[in-house]
Amino acid sequence: QVVDELEGRMSQGGVVVDYHGCDFFPERWFHVVFVLRADNSLLYQRLQSRGYTGKKLQDNIECEIFQTLYEEAVLSYRKEIVHQLPSNTPEDLERNLDQITQWIEQWMKDNN
């Protein structure tokens, strides 16, 4: 149902999707996939501060340890379009925004 709901918007292009998984999104929707990664100790503190406890906290930490979302992305899309970016600090956030912006600008130059 999610794919059906988004199909019209995605077919127009120019859309950024922020989601915690990707295995059901069709590859035709994406030119690039960025997977944000975090150091486990920082992620643990971050999730605790958001009120995560017990199994939910454990599941999220294990997901990061085992690279679950990255592996899911590599299995769902061509490996060459999947990129990992560190997401530990505010400086990482700024670098990631810069890198993604640069990627978009280059893609537009190459494809327009």
pLDDT in tens, the chain (112 residues): 989 999 999 998 889 999 988 888 999 999 999 999 999 999 999 999 999 999 999 999 999 999 999 999 999 999 999 999 999 999 999 999 999 999 999 999 999 8
| pLDDT (0 to 100) of residue 112 | 83
| pLDDT (0 to 100) of residue 20 | 87
**Angle separating helix axes 54-65 and 68-76, nearest 10 degrees:** 60
| pLDDT (0 to 100) of residue 53 | 97
Q: Which residues contact 46 (CB under 8 A, 6 or more apart)?
A: 38
Q: Which residues contact 9 (CB under 8 A, 6 or more apart)?
A: 15
| pLDDT (0 to 100) of residue 49 | 97
Please state the pTM of the whole predicted model: 0.90
Q: Which domains does the chain have, with CATH numbers?
A: 1-111 (3.40.50.300)
